[in-house]
Structure 1
Amino acid sequence: MRRKNVNDYQAFIAVARAKSFTKAAAQQAEDAVKAGVSLTAVGQGMVMNPDWVKFVEGKTEDKIALNIAASDAEQLAIPQKLWRVIEETTGWFNIR
């Protein structure tokens, strides 16, 4: 967590590693903003599920992905360099 004053405005950003990217995770992000956090991030959730926002809003019937495989990279438009980092960083993503 980091706080910084910019033009008398205090930005507060919270980052946490979610174990799932479900509606509960969306509720946690929303609760954080209501509690005063300026920005929340859903990094892995968005990489594996580009339509994550539609999912948490109930606007899609698709199942949310909790893991990723090399065969998913092209469909998800993951750049090769990012995919290499994902593979090389043990424990960052759930790779199947």
Structure 2
Amino acid sequence: MRPGLSVDNEPSYSGDMFTEMRVALYIQRVMVYSQRLHGHHHAATPTNAFRLLEAATIDGAAVAGLEPRIGSLAPGKQVDLVDTYRRPQPVPCQQRYRYHGTRG
């Protein structure tokens, strides 16, 4: 099973996907280590940042039935871009950008 993450209710949640990924990472790791602590030697392997990024992008789009339109950088797909290197604050979700790539 490949779960997807999404933030589709901004008034109720922060709208910050980085926070959602961080919380998912912490909860999953706590559950795995708790299972191991209580003797479940076949507990799941803790997740990693790459897997969470997939859950927040392509898998989140697939779960919502929107994979043909969003979820990856591809020509014709809509995309929200966040430049975390130059601008440490995430771009608000209301600011939308469209990727116009070229094939080749």
* Structure with higher RCO (Cα < 8 A, 6+ apart): 2
TM-score after normalising by structure 1: 0.36
TM-score after normalising by structure 2: 0.34
Larger Rg: 2
